Amino acid sequence: MTEETPGFDEKPDVPSGATSDDAEPTAAASSAEEAAAPAGDAHQTAALVAQLDQVRTALGERTADLQRLQAEYQNYRRRVERDRIAVREIAIANLLTELLPVLDDIGRARDHGELVGGFKSVAESLETVAAKMGLQQFGKEGEPFDPTIHEALMHSYAPDVTETTCVAILQPGYRFGERTIRPARVAVAEPQPGAQTVKAEDSAETGDDKESGGPDEG
């Protein structure tokens, strides 16, 4: 007869609450993971939004910097162009100023009838080139005296003028664009002292005669 060893065939007693106790930590862990997942997503979303705001701010700053650089570059180009034009005008004005004595000689030769032959052709060519470069001559007899463009070298009185007038052009003036290279050197005449008073009295007497119907006839 085989003897049975007690305890080997029988399963150990497991407390009835063992299974539920082991399952509770697992369920709690799952609940914690489910609760942590939305919280983690929200944190990640907030971080992305913050990064996006930083990128937008940086983009706005770089855009403003670019616009400022473009404006400075445009101002620089305009300034350089303005300076280039000014330097060119100064250089041309200096060249034309050096030519003025030659043009004066040509004018005197023309006035004396000496501008003939080959000299006449060369002189006219020089005057044409100077005009193409922008040189303009001014100064005419009979025009009012303007101290900004005229230089009075001679002074006299005349009964037939009503204001200070250029009566003779001793040396023509020249301008280049808005720049006066040389004022016109002129002789001026002013109204004769007392002429205005006499004219005013004559005008008053004439007016009185017209109002009274003229002198009485005897």
pLDDT at 8: 47
Neighbours of 139 (CB within 10 A): 20
The per-residue pLDDT of the chain, averaged, comes to 80
Residue 15 has pLDDT above 60, yes or no: no
pTM of the model: 0.57
203 — pLDDT class (breaks 50, 70, 90) = low
> Beta 184-191 vs 150-158: how paired, if at all?
parallel
Q: What is the distance between the alpha carbons of residues 75 and 68, in angstroms, rounded to a whole number? A: 11
Say which residue, 31 or 50, is predicted with more confidence. Answer: 50
- The predicted model gives 142-150 an average pLDDT of 94
CA–CA separation, 189 and 166 (whole Å): 7
The percentage of the chain sitting over the pLDDT mark of 90, rounded to a whole number, equals: 52
Higher per-residue confidence, 206 vs 190: 190
Q: How far is CA 27 from CA 17, 23, 39, 63, in A?
A: 16, 6, 19, 54
Q: Do 104 and 123 form a contact (C-beta atoms < 8 A)?
A: no
Read off the pLDDT band of 168 (50, 70, 90).
Answer: very high
| Banded pLDDT at 49 (limits 50, 70, 90) | confident
Please report the DSSP string for 157-171 in residue order. Answer: EETT-SS-EEEEEEE
| Contact (CB, 8 A) for 152 and 186 | yes
Q: Report which DSSP code applies to 192.
A: P
Cβ-Cβ contacts under 8 Å for 137 (sequence gap 6 or more): 172, 173, 174
- Segment 125-145 shows an average pLDDT of 94
Of 79-83, 105-109, 206-210, the range with the lowest mean pLDDT is 206-210
Identify the residue with better confidence: 25 or 76: 76
Average pLDDT over residues 187-213: 64
